Amino acid sequence: MPKTAFLRPIRTVVADPMLSLGDLLRDWLPRQRWFAGKDRPVTELGLLSMTELFPGCLHLLVRTGHSAVPIPGGAHDGDCYQLLLGIRKDVSPRLGRALIGRPEQGPFAGLTVYDALHDPRSAQLLLERLRHPGSAGPLRFEGDPSVRVPGGLPPRLLEAEQSNSSLVYGDEFILKIFRRVQPGINPDLEVPGALTGQGCRRVPAPVAWFRTTHPQEMTLGVLQPYLREASDGWTLALRALATGDDFTVQAHQLGQATAEVHLALASAFPTGVHDESGRTAAAMTERLDSAAHCVPALKPFVPGLRGAFGALVACDPGPPAQRIHGDLHLGQVLRAGREWFVIDFEGEPSRPLAERRSVQSPLRDIAGMLRSFDYAARQRRPWRPQWARRCREAFCGGYAARAGWDPRKKHGLLRAYETDRAVYEVLYEARHRPDWLPVPMAAIERLAVRGD
């Protein structure tokens, strides 16, 4: 498709598009996996920007509001979401799952509205936008000029549950489209770019990206190489459990890879002073109290868990604070051949962007991975706690071999961060996957009672 096709002026819809879309989106948004306010009704819906990417496809930024008091420790009362909507008179039956509805009033009355990311034509045209840097209204499409992205790559939308949406193009590139967006540069663009500059080969480098300048500067999507032969750590761990493999060799190598990424992050970004234990303990305690307010099953364990956080004040301060991954677990790592790669540096999407970009203790990432081994071990019956224990030991041993310090020797710190992670998991599972709630609750009981 010629480049000039993307340089024409953006057409605008004169009538208020929310007359057509408002009621449809209020019903559709809470049913989406990536929507943060599922347990609160959408009482307010405002259009922040609308851009016609190409005929029949609109890019929207919408602000949702909720009349209820904001959930403690969770999503904010007002969130901004990125939508790509297809608008047609008739749609193919294959887009049935993508349908949002048919407006009865407003500028789109009588037309069909659907999630355009499910439409191969829209997905291909979005890639064309990224292949040809430039502007479309407030949107800016940019890229690495040293990397050529071929045209005509067939798209497919990944169906895995996640907090964003991802398109794979020809098994060569993957485009992550952020759904809930916040002002500032997203770490999933910032961090891989900085690590590439450090020569770190554990992270796929950004190839192209797009952002908006209105209503504020926000990162909207990142295109990276797709590791077609890779398997994620979660799948590999479950396969090992099924075949009787103890997974310790892979866990040791994963610990080494994690340490290499942390060392590169410490070189690429300014580090901080040793973590302020009092402030960290107070923040962890606040998250615990907020989670217990939402999940009553936590309440009996609150006194014991507070003890884990209170012990931070008397602990060895540990390694200096630095930029970290922020949400590290087996689903965020890929293994291709004998090499581990780390992906998805967005951090925990429910937390403010400024917090996700701040320096933190690397023990937060380590604790996240240790909890992930426990999650994997509990996927089979009977539960094999010794499998998780050996993997945890191997991971920490691999980390120590590269980092020069051993996480196992920071027991009080590690227990506090693992407890904080388990509290986060309880809140997450209660909201999104109630059947999984027993997994983090078992860790909560262990950490509160025995403190191992």
Annotate 58-82 with DSSP letters as a single string: EEEEEEEE-SSPPPTTS--SSEEEE
Query: Hey, how many other C-beta atoms are within 10 angstroms of the C-beta on 242?
Result: 10
Identify the pLDDT of residue 72.
Answer: 45
Helix (H, G, I), strand (E, B) or coil at 224: strand
CA distance 401 to 399: 5
Identify the pLDDT of residue 9.
Answer: 32
What residue spans of 108-223 are helical by DSSP H? 120-131, 187-197
Directed axis angle between helix 363-377 and helix 248-268, to 10°? Answer: 160
Identify the pLDDT of residue 68.
Answer: 52
Give the residue from 79, 40, 30 showing the smallest Cα distance to 353: 79
* Total residues belonging to the chain: 452
CA distance 207 to 131: 10
Residues 208 and 214: beta-carbon distance below 8 Å: no
Phi, psi angles (nearest 5°) of residue 75: -65, 150
Identify the pLDDT of residue 450.
Answer: 58
Helix (H, G, I), strand (E, B) or coil at 405: coil
CA distance 112 to 184: 33
| DSSP code at position 146 | T
Task: Give residues with Cβ within 8 angstroms of 332, minimum separation 6.
Answer: 233, 325, 342, 343, 344
Phi, psi angles (nearest 5°) of residue 101: 150, 180
Sketch out the chain's domains with CATH numbers: 3-225 (no CATH), 231-449 (3.90.1200.10)
In which order are the strands placed within the sheet that holds 173-177? 134-136, 139-143, 208-212, 218-225, 173-177, 165-169, 155-157
CA distance 165 to 385: 34
Q: Per DSSP, what are the bridge partners of residue 290?
A: none
Number of Cα atoms under 13 Å in the Cβ half of residue 43: 9
Give the residue from 73, 76, 72, 69 showing the smallest Cα distance to 37: 76
Residues 109 and 20: beta-carbon distance below 8 Å: yes
Q: Per DSSP, what are the bridge partners of residue 99?
A: 114
Q: What is the DSSP string of 339-398?
A: EEEE--TT--TTS-HHHHTS-B-THHHHHHHHHHHHHHHTTSSS--HHHHHHHHHHHHHH
Identify the pLDDT of residue 314.
Answer: 78
What residue spans of 210-332 are helical by DSSP H? 233-243, 248-268, 277-294, 302-310
Residues 136 and 126: beta-carbon distance below 8 Å: no
In angstroms, how far apart are the furthest CA atoms of the chain? 66
pLDDT digits (tens, 9 = 90+) for 427-439: 989 988 899 999 9
Residue with tokens 């407006």: 103
Give the residue from 374, 417, 404 showing the smallest Cα distance to 256: 404
Report residues of the chain scoring pLDDT below 50.
1-14, 69-76
Helix (H, G, I), strand (E, B) or coil at 379: coil
